[in-house]
Structure 1
Protein backbone atom coordinates (compact mmCIF):
# COMPACT_ATOMS: atom_id res chain seq x y z
CA UNK A 1 0.00 0.00 0.00
CA UNK A 2 1.53 3.29 -1.04
CA UNK A 3 -0.88 5.78 0.49
CA UNK A 4 -0.17 7.32 3.89
CA UNK A 5 -2.58 5.92 6.49
CA UNK A 6 -2.90 7.98 9.65
CA UNK A 7 -6.09 6.61 11.23
CA UNK A 8 -6.34 3.50 13.38
CA UNK A 9 -9.16 0.99 12.99
CA UNK A 10 -10.28 -2.21 14.73
CA UNK A 11 -11.38 -5.22 12.67
CA UNK A 12 -14.08 -7.03 14.66
CA UNK A 13 -14.33 -10.07 12.37
CA UNK A 14 -11.33 -11.91 10.94
CA UNK A 15 -11.21 -15.66 10.23
CA UNK A 16 -7.49 -15.98 10.90
CA UNK A 17 -7.83 -19.71 11.56
CA UNK A 18 -8.99 -20.27 7.97
CA UNK A 19 -6.72 -22.53 5.92
CA UNK A 20 -6.10 -19.72 3.43
CA UNK A 21 -3.96 -18.01 6.08
CA UNK A 22 -2.10 -21.19 7.02
CA UNK A 23 1.17 -20.41 5.26
CA UNK A 24 1.58 -16.68 5.91
CA UNK A 25 -0.41 -15.76 9.00
CA UNK A 26 2.52 -13.91 10.58
CA UNK A 27 2.87 -11.76 7.47
CA UNK A 28 -0.89 -11.07 7.43
CA UNK A 29 -0.74 -9.88 11.04
CA UNK A 30 2.38 -7.80 10.33
CA UNK A 31 0.68 -6.11 7.37
CA UNK A 32 -2.34 -5.33 9.52
CA UNK A 33 -0.16 -3.72 12.18
CA UNK A 34 1.78 -1.74 9.57
CA UNK A 35 -1.50 -0.41 8.13
CA UNK A 36 -2.61 0.81 11.57
CA UNK A 37 -5.15 -1.86 12.35
CA UNK A 38 -4.89 -1.42 16.11
CA UNK A 39 -6.63 -4.67 17.11
CA UNK A 40 -8.43 -7.63 15.57
CA UNK A 41 -11.07 -10.09 16.76
CA UNK A 42 -10.65 -13.65 15.49
CA UNK A 43 -13.94 -15.42 14.85
CA UNK A 44 -14.44 -18.80 16.48
CA UNK A 45 -16.95 -21.01 14.66
CA UNK A 46 -16.27 -24.41 16.24
CA UNK A 47 -14.44 -25.86 19.21
CA UNK A 48 -11.31 -26.36 17.12
CA UNK A 49 -11.29 -22.93 15.48
CA UNK A 50 -11.99 -21.34 18.86
CA UNK A 51 -9.00 -23.14 20.35
CA UNK A 52 -6.84 -22.01 17.46
CA UNK A 53 -8.06 -18.44 17.84
CA UNK A 54 -7.23 -18.43 21.55
CA UNK A 55 -3.74 -19.78 20.80
CA UNK A 56 -3.16 -16.89 18.38
CA UNK A 57 -4.34 -14.45 21.05
CA UNK A 58 -1.79 -15.83 23.49
CA UNK A 59 0.92 -15.21 20.91
CA UNK A 60 -0.31 -11.64 20.34
CA UNK A 61 -1.73 -10.45 23.70
CA UNK A 62 -3.39 -7.06 23.64
CA UNK A 63 -3.58 -7.09 19.86
CA UNK A 64 -5.60 -10.17 18.96
CA UNK A 65 -8.85 -11.13 20.68
CA UNK A 66 -11.23 -14.02 20.04
CA UNK A 67 -14.81 -15.16 20.02
CA UNK A 68 -15.71 -18.72 20.90
CA UNK A 69 -18.81 -20.47 19.63
CA UNK A 70 -20.54 -22.88 17.31
CA UNK A 71 -21.63 -21.56 13.90
CA UNK A 72 -25.21 -22.40 12.87
CA UNK A 73 -23.85 -24.57 10.05
CA UNK A 74 -22.35 -26.83 12.73
CA UNK A 75 -25.27 -26.68 15.17
CA UNK A 76 -25.85 -30.42 14.77
CA UNK A 77 -22.56 -30.99 16.61
CA UNK A 78 -23.90 -29.32 19.78
CA UNK A 79 -23.89 -31.50 22.91
CA UNK A 80 -23.46 -31.19 26.66
CA UNK A 81 -19.75 -31.83 26.14
CA UNK A 82 -19.57 -29.07 23.54
CA UNK A 83 -21.15 -26.61 25.97
CA UNK A 84 -18.76 -27.62 28.73
CA UNK A 85 -15.82 -27.02 26.42
CA UNK A 86 -17.22 -23.69 25.22
CA UNK A 87 -17.52 -22.52 28.80
CA UNK A 88 -13.90 -23.45 29.50
CA UNK A 89 -12.77 -21.67 26.36
CA UNK A 90 -14.79 -18.58 27.26
CA UNK A 91 -12.71 -18.21 30.42
CA UNK A 92 -9.41 -18.03 28.53
CA UNK A 93 -7.52 -14.72 28.26
CA UNK A 94 -8.41 -12.79 25.12
CA UNK A 95 -11.93 -14.18 24.67
CA UNK A 96 -14.34 -11.26 24.39
CA UNK A 97 -17.57 -12.71 22.95
CA UNK A 98 -19.68 -15.83 22.50
CA UNK A 99 -20.17 -16.79 18.87
CA UNK A 100 -20.25 -16.94 15.97
CA UNK A 101 -23.74 -18.14 16.71
CA UNK A 102 -27.19 -17.44 15.36
CA UNK A 103 -29.34 -18.81 12.57
CA UNK A 104 -28.84 -19.56 8.87
CA UNK A 105 -32.00 -20.69 7.11
CA UNK A 106 -30.44 -20.29 3.66
CA UNK A 107 -28.32 -23.42 3.46
CA UNK A 108 -29.59 -25.34 6.48
CA UNK A 109 -26.45 -27.45 6.85
CA UNK A 110 -27.98 -28.11 10.28
CA UNK A 111 -31.74 -28.25 10.60
CA UNK A 112 -33.59 -25.13 11.82
CA UNK A 113 -34.49 -27.01 14.99
CA UNK A 114 -30.84 -27.89 15.65
CA UNK A 115 -29.80 -24.30 14.96
CA UNK A 116 -32.37 -22.84 17.34
CA UNK A 117 -31.39 -25.26 20.10
CA UNK A 118 -27.66 -24.48 19.70
CA UNK A 119 -28.38 -20.74 19.54
CA UNK A 120 -30.44 -20.76 22.73
CA UNK A 121 -27.73 -22.68 24.58
CA UNK A 122 -25.11 -20.16 23.50
CA UNK A 123 -27.35 -17.29 24.57
CA UNK A 124 -27.48 -18.90 28.00
CA UNK A 125 -23.69 -19.16 27.96
CA UNK A 126 -23.37 -15.47 27.10
CA UNK A 127 -25.63 -14.58 30.02
CA UNK A 128 -23.66 -16.82 32.38
CA UNK A 129 -20.26 -15.53 31.30
CA UNK A 130 -21.39 -11.90 30.91
CA UNK A 131 -19.90 -11.77 27.43
CA UNK A 132 -21.59 -10.18 24.40
CA UNK A 133 -22.89 -12.22 21.48
CA UNK A 134 -21.29 -12.31 18.03
CA UNK A 135 -24.24 -13.09 15.77
CA UNK A 136 -24.83 -14.61 12.34
CA UNK A 137 -28.12 -14.13 10.50
CA UNK A 138 -29.02 -15.31 7.04
CA UNK A 139 -32.68 -15.40 6.02
CA UNK A 140 -33.66 -15.92 9.66
CA UNK A 141 -34.17 -12.42 11.03
CA UNK A 142 -37.74 -12.82 12.24
CA UNK A 143 -36.99 -15.98 14.20
CA UNK A 144 -33.70 -14.63 15.55
CA UNK A 145 -35.30 -11.41 16.85
CA UNK A 146 -38.13 -13.43 18.40
CA UNK A 147 -35.56 -15.50 20.32
CA UNK A 148 -33.44 -12.52 21.37
CA UNK A 149 -36.22 -10.16 22.45
CA UNK A 150 -37.17 -11.86 25.78
CA UNK A 151 -33.52 -12.13 26.93
CA UNK A 152 -31.96 -8.97 25.52
CA UNK A 153 -31.87 -7.19 28.88
CA UNK A 154 -29.92 -10.08 30.37
CA UNK A 155 -27.20 -9.84 27.72
CA UNK A 156 -24.06 -7.72 27.79
CA UNK A 157 -24.76 -6.59 24.23
CA UNK A 158 -24.50 -8.17 20.80
CA UNK A 159 -23.42 -7.43 17.25
CA UNK A 160 -24.99 -8.62 14.03
CA UNK A 161 -21.83 -9.61 12.19
CA UNK A 162 -21.63 -8.95 8.45
CA UNK A 163 -25.03 -7.29 8.21
CA UNK A 164 -26.56 -7.53 4.72
CA UNK A 165 -30.26 -7.36 5.56
CA UNK A 166 -33.03 -4.99 4.57
CA UNK A 167 -34.42 -1.94 6.38
CA UNK A 168 -36.85 -3.97 8.46
CA UNK A 169 -34.03 -6.23 9.65
CA UNK A 170 -31.80 -3.27 10.45
CA UNK A 171 -34.39 -1.47 12.55
CA UNK A 172 -35.48 -4.71 14.18
CA UNK A 173 -31.96 -5.25 15.48
CA UNK A 174 -31.41 -1.60 16.33
CA UNK A 175 -34.63 -1.62 18.37
CA UNK A 176 -33.03 -4.37 20.47
CA UNK A 177 -29.97 -2.19 21.01
CA UNK A 178 -27.66 -4.32 18.89
CA UNK A 179 -24.50 -3.18 17.13
CA UNK A 180 -24.20 -3.57 13.35
CA UNK A 181 -21.05 -4.95 11.72
CA UNK A 182 -20.35 -3.77 8.17
CA UNK A 183 -17.98 -5.54 5.78
CA UNK A 184 -16.72 -5.10 2.22
CA UNK A 185 -20.19 -6.18 1.05
CA UNK A 186 -20.85 -2.44 0.91
CA UNK A 187 -18.17 -2.13 -1.77
CA UNK A 188 -19.99 -4.53 -4.09
CA UNK A 189 -21.66 -2.71 -6.98
CA UNK A 190 -24.00 -5.68 -7.52
CA UNK A 191 -25.10 -6.87 -4.08
CA UNK A 192 -24.22 -3.88 -1.91
CA UNK A 193 -26.57 -1.24 -3.29
CA UNK A 194 -29.30 -1.70 -0.68
CA UNK A 195 -26.70 -1.62 2.11
CA UNK A 196 -25.27 1.61 0.72
CA UNK A 197 -28.74 3.13 0.89
CA UNK A 198 -29.11 2.04 4.53
CA UNK A 199 -25.69 2.95 5.88
CA UNK A 200 -26.76 6.42 7.06
CA UNK A 201 -29.57 4.84 9.08
CA UNK A 202 -27.13 3.18 11.50
CA UNK A 203 -26.59 5.40 14.56
CA UNK A 204 -22.96 6.46 15.01
CA UNK A 205 -22.78 4.65 18.37
CA UNK A 206 -23.94 1.32 16.89
CA UNK A 207 -21.60 0.94 13.90
CA UNK A 208 -18.70 -1.54 13.82
CA UNK A 209 -16.21 -2.39 11.04
CA UNK A 210 -14.97 -5.77 9.86
CA UNK A 211 -13.42 -7.49 6.87
CA UNK A 212 -14.64 -11.08 7.47
CA UNK A 213 -11.32 -12.02 5.87
CA UNK A 214 -10.46 -14.12 3.93
CA UNK A 215 -14.02 -13.72 2.60
CA UNK A 216 -15.73 -10.69 1.02
CA UNK A 217 -12.77 -9.05 -0.66
CA UNK A 218 -13.99 -5.55 -1.65
CA UNK A 219 -14.82 -5.75 -5.34
CA UNK A 220 -13.84 -2.15 -6.04
CA UNK A 221 -10.26 -2.33 -4.81
CA UNK A 222 -8.09 -0.44 -7.32
CA UNK A 223 -5.44 -3.17 -7.14
CA UNK A 224 -6.72 -6.62 -6.25
CA UNK A 225 -4.47 -9.22 -4.59
CA UNK A 226 -3.38 -12.06 -6.84
CA UNK A 227 -4.75 -14.68 -4.45
CA UNK A 228 -8.18 -13.03 -4.38
CA UNK A 229 -8.04 -13.27 -0.61
CA UNK A 230 -9.34 -10.60 1.74
CA UNK A 231 -7.10 -9.36 4.56
CA UNK A 232 -7.48 -6.97 7.51
CA UNK A 233 -5.21 -4.55 5.66
CA UNK A 234 -8.18 -3.72 3.40
CA UNK A 235 -10.32 -2.49 6.29
CA UNK A 236 -9.25 1.07 5.52
CA UNK A 237 -10.73 0.78 2.05
CA UNK A 238 -14.05 -0.34 3.53
CA UNK A 239 -13.91 2.46 6.10
CA UNK A 240 -13.30 5.12 3.45
CA UNK A 241 -16.34 3.89 1.51
CA UNK A 242 -18.52 4.03 4.62
CA UNK A 243 -17.23 7.46 5.67
CA UNK A 244 -17.96 8.87 2.23
CA UNK A 245 -21.48 7.43 2.21
CA UNK A 246 -22.17 8.80 5.70
CA UNK A 247 -20.74 12.21 4.84
CA UNK A 248 -18.07 12.22 7.55
CA UNK A 249 -14.29 12.06 7.63
CA UNK A 250 -12.35 8.84 8.02
CA UNK A 251 -11.02 10.25 11.30
CA UNK A 252 -14.54 10.71 12.65
CA UNK A 253 -15.50 7.19 11.59
CA UNK A 254 -12.35 5.79 13.18
CA UNK A 255 -13.10 7.47 16.49
CA UNK A 256 -16.73 6.37 16.50
CA UNK A 257 -16.16 2.73 15.57
CA UNK A 258 -13.12 2.31 17.82
CA UNK A 259 -15.08 3.63 20.79
CA UNK A 260 -18.00 1.35 19.91
CA UNK A 261 -15.73 -1.69 19.70
CA UNK A 262 -14.11 -0.93 23.05
CA UNK A 263 -17.52 -0.41 24.65
CA UNK A 264 -19.02 -3.66 23.39
CA UNK A 265 -16.06 -6.00 23.74
CA UNK A 266 -14.21 -4.32 26.58
CA UNK A 267 -10.91 -4.36 24.67
Structure 2
Protein backbone atom coordinates (compact mmCIF):
# COMPACT_ATOMS: atom_id res chain seq x y z
CA UNK A 1 0.00 0.00 0.00
CA UNK A 2 1.07 3.57 -0.58
CA UNK A 3 0.64 6.66 1.59
CA UNK A 4 -1.00 9.93 0.57
CA UNK A 5 1.62 12.30 1.99
CA UNK A 6 -0.75 15.28 1.92
CA UNK A 7 -2.92 13.87 4.71
CA UNK A 8 -1.03 10.66 5.68
CA UNK A 9 -3.79 8.37 4.41
CA UNK A 10 -2.94 4.77 3.74
CA UNK A 11 -4.06 4.01 0.18
CA UNK A 12 -5.54 0.57 -0.49
CA UNK A 13 -4.06 -1.30 -3.49
CA UNK A 14 -7.56 -1.89 -4.95
CA UNK A 15 -11.01 -0.37 -4.35
CA UNK A 16 -12.52 -1.38 -1.00
CA UNK A 17 -16.10 -1.66 0.24
CA UNK A 18 -16.76 -0.57 3.83
CA UNK A 19 -19.74 -2.77 4.67
CA UNK A 20 -20.64 -1.03 7.94
CA UNK A 21 -20.29 2.67 8.71
CA UNK A 22 -22.49 4.79 10.98
CA UNK A 23 -22.51 7.91 8.81
CA UNK A 24 -25.69 9.21 10.44
CA UNK A 25 -23.76 9.60 13.70
CA UNK A 26 -23.54 13.22 14.88
CA UNK A 27 -19.73 13.09 14.76
CA UNK A 28 -19.97 13.20 10.96
CA UNK A 29 -22.73 15.80 10.61
CA UNK A 30 -20.49 18.84 10.00
CA UNK A 31 -17.74 17.16 7.98
CA UNK A 32 -19.43 14.55 5.81
CA UNK A 33 -18.12 15.89 2.49
CA UNK A 34 -14.55 15.84 3.81
CA UNK A 35 -14.97 12.34 5.27
CA UNK A 36 -16.27 10.98 1.96
CA UNK A 37 -13.51 12.73 0.03
CA UNK A 38 -10.85 11.15 2.25
CA UNK A 39 -12.51 7.75 1.79
CA UNK A 40 -12.28 8.12 -1.98
CA UNK A 41 -8.63 9.16 -1.71
CA UNK A 42 -7.88 6.05 0.35
CA UNK A 43 -9.57 3.84 -2.30
CA UNK A 44 -12.58 3.13 -0.06
CA UNK A 45 -14.96 3.60 -2.94
CA UNK A 46 -18.27 2.16 -1.66
CA UNK A 47 -19.83 2.57 1.78
CA UNK A 48 -22.81 0.76 3.31
CA UNK A 49 -24.49 3.08 5.83
CA UNK A 50 -25.88 1.17 8.80
CA UNK A 51 -29.52 1.63 9.79
CA UNK A 52 -30.00 0.97 13.51
CA UNK A 53 -33.55 2.28 14.00
CA UNK A 54 -36.38 3.56 11.85
CA UNK A 55 -35.10 7.12 12.29
CA UNK A 56 -31.48 6.21 11.51
CA UNK A 57 -32.54 4.11 8.52
CA UNK A 58 -34.54 7.04 7.16
CA UNK A 59 -31.54 9.33 7.70
CA UNK A 60 -29.32 6.81 5.89
CA UNK A 61 -31.74 6.81 2.96
CA UNK A 62 -31.46 10.61 2.72
CA UNK A 63 -27.66 10.40 2.67
CA UNK A 64 -27.79 7.87 -0.15
CA UNK A 65 -29.97 10.21 -2.19
CA UNK A 66 -27.31 12.90 -1.77
CA UNK A 67 -24.39 10.62 -2.69
CA UNK A 68 -25.77 8.10 -5.21
CA UNK A 69 -23.41 5.37 -6.34
CA UNK A 70 -21.05 5.91 -3.41
CA UNK A 71 -23.42 5.22 -0.53
CA UNK A 72 -25.92 2.41 0.06
CA UNK A 73 -27.80 1.62 3.25
CA UNK A 74 -29.35 -1.05 5.44
CA UNK A 75 -32.78 -0.68 7.02
CA UNK A 76 -33.41 -2.19 10.42
CA UNK A 77 -33.77 -1.96 14.18
CA UNK A 78 -30.75 -2.72 16.39
CA UNK A 79 -31.36 -5.11 19.32
CA UNK A 80 -30.76 -2.23 21.74
CA UNK A 81 -33.84 -0.51 20.24
CA UNK A 82 -36.02 -3.61 19.96
CA UNK A 83 -38.45 -2.22 22.55
CA UNK A 84 -39.39 0.39 19.92
CA UNK A 85 -40.40 -2.25 17.35
CA UNK A 86 -44.13 -1.68 16.88
CA UNK A 87 -46.72 -3.18 14.52
CA UNK A 88 -46.12 -0.25 12.18
CA UNK A 89 -42.34 -0.75 12.18
CA UNK A 90 -42.51 -3.71 9.81
CA UNK A 91 -44.37 -1.70 7.18
CA UNK A 92 -42.05 1.28 7.57
CA UNK A 93 -38.98 -0.92 7.06
CA UNK A 94 -40.73 -2.63 4.15
CA UNK A 95 -41.23 0.76 2.49
CA UNK A 96 -37.63 1.82 3.13
CA UNK A 97 -36.36 -1.43 1.65
CA UNK A 98 -38.03 -0.63 -1.67
CA UNK A 99 -35.41 2.07 -2.25
CA UNK A 100 -32.84 0.90 -4.81
CA UNK A 101 -30.08 2.02 -2.43
CA UNK A 102 -31.29 -0.27 0.37
CA UNK A 103 -29.10 -3.37 0.12
CA UNK A 104 -29.87 -5.31 3.33
CA UNK A 105 -32.18 -5.66 6.32
CA UNK A 106 -30.52 -4.78 9.62
CA UNK A 107 -28.71 -4.01 11.78
CA UNK A 108 -30.66 -6.62 13.69
CA UNK A 109 -29.91 -9.56 15.93
CA UNK A 110 -29.50 -10.18 19.65
CA UNK A 111 -27.41 -8.46 22.33
CA UNK A 112 -27.66 -10.10 25.76
CA UNK A 113 -24.64 -8.16 27.06
CA UNK A 114 -26.45 -4.99 28.06
CA UNK A 115 -30.10 -5.89 27.49
CA UNK A 116 -31.21 -2.33 26.77
CA UNK A 117 -34.30 -4.12 25.45
CA UNK A 118 -35.47 -7.34 27.07
CA UNK A 119 -34.46 -10.67 25.49
CA UNK A 120 -38.12 -11.25 24.60
CA UNK A 121 -38.35 -7.89 22.82
CA UNK A 122 -35.10 -8.60 21.00
CA UNK A 123 -36.23 -12.02 19.78
CA UNK A 124 -39.53 -10.59 18.57
CA UNK A 125 -37.88 -7.75 16.63
CA UNK A 126 -35.23 -10.10 15.23
CA UNK A 127 -37.73 -12.66 13.99
CA UNK A 128 -39.93 -9.99 12.42
CA UNK A 129 -36.94 -8.58 10.54
CA UNK A 130 -35.93 -12.05 9.38
CA UNK A 131 -39.46 -12.47 8.02
CA UNK A 132 -39.09 -9.13 6.24
CA UNK A 133 -35.77 -10.15 4.68
CA UNK A 134 -37.27 -13.45 3.56
CA UNK A 135 -40.30 -11.70 2.05
CA UNK A 136 -38.14 -9.20 0.17
CA UNK A 137 -35.31 -11.65 -0.62
CA UNK A 138 -32.80 -9.21 0.91
CA UNK A 139 -29.57 -10.20 2.68
CA UNK A 140 -29.33 -9.63 6.42
CA UNK A 141 -26.85 -7.44 8.34
CA UNK A 142 -26.57 -9.01 11.78
CA UNK A 143 -25.38 -8.00 15.24
CA UNK A 144 -24.70 -10.46 18.06
CA UNK A 145 -23.13 -10.10 21.47
CA UNK A 146 -23.22 -12.72 24.23
CA UNK A 147 -26.17 -14.34 22.47
CA UNK A 148 -24.69 -16.89 20.07
CA UNK A 149 -26.70 -19.86 21.34
CA UNK A 150 -30.11 -18.19 20.88
CA UNK A 151 -29.19 -16.29 17.72
CA UNK A 152 -27.81 -19.37 15.97
CA UNK A 153 -30.90 -21.35 17.01
CA UNK A 154 -33.17 -18.74 15.40
CA UNK A 155 -31.01 -18.48 12.28
CA UNK A 156 -30.96 -22.25 11.90
CA UNK A 157 -34.77 -22.31 11.91
CA UNK A 158 -35.03 -19.68 9.14
CA UNK A 159 -31.74 -20.28 7.31
CA UNK A 160 -33.08 -22.11 4.25
CA UNK A 161 -35.22 -19.08 3.41
CA UNK A 162 -32.63 -16.33 4.08
CA UNK A 163 -30.80 -15.37 0.88
CA UNK A 164 -27.59 -14.29 2.69
CA UNK A 165 -26.45 -13.12 6.13
CA UNK A 166 -23.34 -11.41 7.49
CA UNK A 167 -22.29 -11.32 11.13
CA UNK A 168 -21.18 -7.71 11.32
CA UNK A 169 -18.24 -6.71 13.55
CA UNK A 170 -17.48 -10.28 14.61
CA UNK A 171 -15.62 -10.44 17.94
CA UNK A 172 -16.81 -13.83 19.20
CA UNK A 173 -15.01 -17.07 20.07
CA UNK A 174 -14.18 -20.14 18.01
CA UNK A 175 -17.50 -21.84 18.76
CA UNK A 176 -19.41 -18.82 17.47
CA UNK A 177 -17.23 -18.42 14.39
CA UNK A 178 -17.52 -22.07 13.36
CA UNK A 179 -21.24 -22.03 14.15
CA UNK A 180 -21.91 -19.04 11.91
CA UNK A 181 -19.75 -20.47 9.13
CA UNK A 182 -21.73 -23.72 9.38
CA UNK A 183 -24.83 -21.59 8.74
CA UNK A 184 -23.14 -20.21 5.59
CA UNK A 185 -22.88 -16.73 7.08
CA UNK A 186 -20.37 -14.15 5.92
CA UNK A 187 -18.12 -12.58 8.56
CA UNK A 188 -17.45 -8.83 8.87
CA UNK A 189 -14.14 -7.82 10.46
CA UNK A 190 -13.46 -4.37 11.93
CA UNK A 191 -10.55 -2.58 13.58
CA UNK A 192 -11.04 -4.85 16.60
CA UNK A 193 -8.57 -7.16 14.83
CA UNK A 194 -5.98 -4.35 14.98
CA UNK A 195 -6.14 -4.13 18.78
CA UNK A 196 -2.98 -5.53 20.37
CA UNK A 197 -4.86 -5.95 23.67
CA UNK A 198 -8.43 -7.11 23.00
CA UNK A 199 -7.93 -8.43 19.46
CA UNK A 200 -5.33 -11.15 20.00
CA UNK A 201 -7.83 -14.03 19.98
CA UNK A 202 -9.51 -12.64 16.86
CA UNK A 203 -6.14 -12.34 15.10
CA UNK A 204 -5.79 -16.11 15.43
CA UNK A 205 -9.42 -16.95 14.67
CA UNK A 206 -9.60 -15.05 11.37
CA UNK A 207 -7.29 -17.65 9.83
CA UNK A 208 -10.29 -19.99 9.89
CA UNK A 209 -12.53 -17.72 7.80
CA UNK A 210 -12.69 -18.79 4.14
CA UNK A 211 -11.69 -15.74 2.11
CA UNK A 212 -14.88 -16.17 0.06
CA UNK A 213 -16.83 -15.43 3.28
CA UNK A 214 -14.80 -12.46 4.52
CA UNK A 215 -15.75 -8.77 4.36
CA UNK A 216 -14.17 -5.66 5.90
CA UNK A 217 -15.73 -2.72 7.73
CA UNK A 218 -14.83 0.21 9.96
CA UNK A 219 -18.01 0.52 12.09
CA UNK A 220 -16.96 4.18 12.15
CA UNK A 221 -16.90 6.36 14.16
CA UNK A 222 -16.16 3.48 16.55
CA UNK A 223 -13.26 1.00 16.72
CA UNK A 224 -10.40 3.15 15.46
CA UNK A 225 -7.67 0.74 14.24
CA UNK A 226 -4.92 0.78 16.88
CA UNK A 227 -2.25 -0.11 14.30
CA UNK A 228 -2.53 3.32 12.67
CA UNK A 229 0.68 5.33 12.41
CA UNK A 230 0.38 8.17 13.18
CA UNK A 231 -2.85 7.98 15.13
CA UNK A 232 -5.37 10.73 14.26
CA UNK A 233 -5.73 13.46 16.87
CA UNK A 234 -9.51 13.10 16.97
CA UNK A 235 -9.36 9.38 17.92
CA UNK A 236 -12.54 9.04 15.83
CA UNK A 237 -12.72 6.33 13.19
CA UNK A 238 -13.80 6.99 9.59
CA UNK A 239 -14.09 5.00 6.34
CA UNK A 240 -10.72 6.27 5.06
CA UNK A 241 -9.04 4.16 7.76
CA UNK A 242 -10.32 0.84 6.38
CA UNK A 243 -6.96 0.13 4.65
CA UNK A 244 -5.45 -0.31 8.14
CA UNK A 245 -7.89 -3.18 8.77
CA UNK A 246 -6.88 -4.63 5.40
CA UNK A 247 -3.22 -4.30 6.37
CA UNK A 248 -3.71 -6.16 9.66
CA UNK A 249 -5.79 -8.88 8.02
CA UNK A 250 -3.15 -9.33 5.33
CA UNK A 251 -0.60 -10.00 8.06
CA UNK A 252 -2.90 -12.36 9.98
CA UNK A 253 -3.74 -14.39 6.87
CA UNK A 254 -0.28 -14.18 5.32
CA UNK A 255 -1.96 -13.00 2.11
CA UNK A 256 -0.92 -10.08 -0.08
CA UNK A 257 -2.98 -6.93 0.35
CA UNK A 258 -3.96 -6.61 -3.32
CA UNK A 259 -5.56 -10.04 -3.61
CA UNK A 260 -7.25 -9.66 -0.20
CA UNK A 261 -8.64 -6.25 -1.17
CA UNK A 262 -9.99 -7.65 -4.42
CA UNK A 263 -11.48 -10.73 -2.75
CA UNK A 264 -13.25 -8.88 0.06
CA UNK A 265 -14.64 -6.26 -2.34
CA UNK A 266 -15.87 -8.98 -4.69
CA UNK A 267 -17.55 -10.65 -1.72
CA UNK A 268 -19.27 -7.40 -0.72
CA UNK A 269 -20.41 -6.69 -4.26
CA UNK A 270 -21.90 -10.17 -4.53
CA UNK A 271 -23.43 -10.16 -1.04
CA UNK A 272 -25.13 -6.76 -1.30
CA UNK A 273 -26.03 -7.18 -4.99
CA UNK A 274 -24.20 -3.96 -5.81
CA UNK A 275 -24.28 -2.68 -9.40
Q: TM-score band, normalised by the shorter chain?
A: over 0.9
1:22 to 6, 21, 29: 29
Correspondence 1:163 to 2:170:
yes
User: Is the 8 Å Cα contact of residues 51 and 57 (structure 2) preserved in structure 1?
Assistant: yes
State the match for 2:91 in structure 1.
84
Point out where structure 1 has 5 or more consecutive residues left out of the alignment: none
The Cα shift of 1:221 comes to 1.2
TM-score normalised to structure 1 length = 0.98
Correspondence 1:67 to 2:67:
no
1:260 to 259, 262, 267: 267
Taking the aligned partners of 1:266 and 1:137, their CA distance within structure 2 comes to: 23
Point out where structure 2 has 5 or more consecutive residues left out of the alignment: none
Taking the aligned partners of 1:232 and 1:4, their CA distance within structure 2 comes to: 12
State the match for 1:199 in structure 2.
206
Matched residue SS, 1:205: helix
Structure 2 counterparts to residues 94-105 of structure 1, below 5 A: 94-105=101-112
Alpha-carbon RMSD across the aligned residues, in angstroms, is 0.9
User: Per-residue displacement from partner, 1:22-42 (whole Å, max 9, x unpaired)?
Assistant: 110111011101111120100
Correspondence 1:117 to 2:121:
no
The Cα shift of 1:143 comes to 0.3
Number of aligned positions between the proteins: 267
State the match for 2:233 in structure 1.
226
State the match for 2:15 in structure 1.
8
Matched residue SS, 1:13: strand
User: Is the 8 Å Cα contact of residues 126 and 155 (structure 1) preserved in structure 2?
Assistant: yes
Correspondence 1:150 to 2:157:
yes
Taking the aligned partners of 2:192 and 2:42, their CA distance within structure 1 comes to: 21
State the match for 1:186 in structure 2.
193
2:64 to 57, 70, 78: 57
Taking the aligned partners of 2:68 and 2:60, their CA distance within structure 1 comes to: 12
The Cα shift of 1:6 comes to 3.3
TM-score normalised to structure 2 length = 0.95
The Cα shift of 1:227 comes to 1.4
Taking the aligned partners of 1:199 and 1:31, their CA distance within structure 2 comes to: 28
1:37 to 41, 44, 56: 44
State the match for 1:176 in structure 2.
183
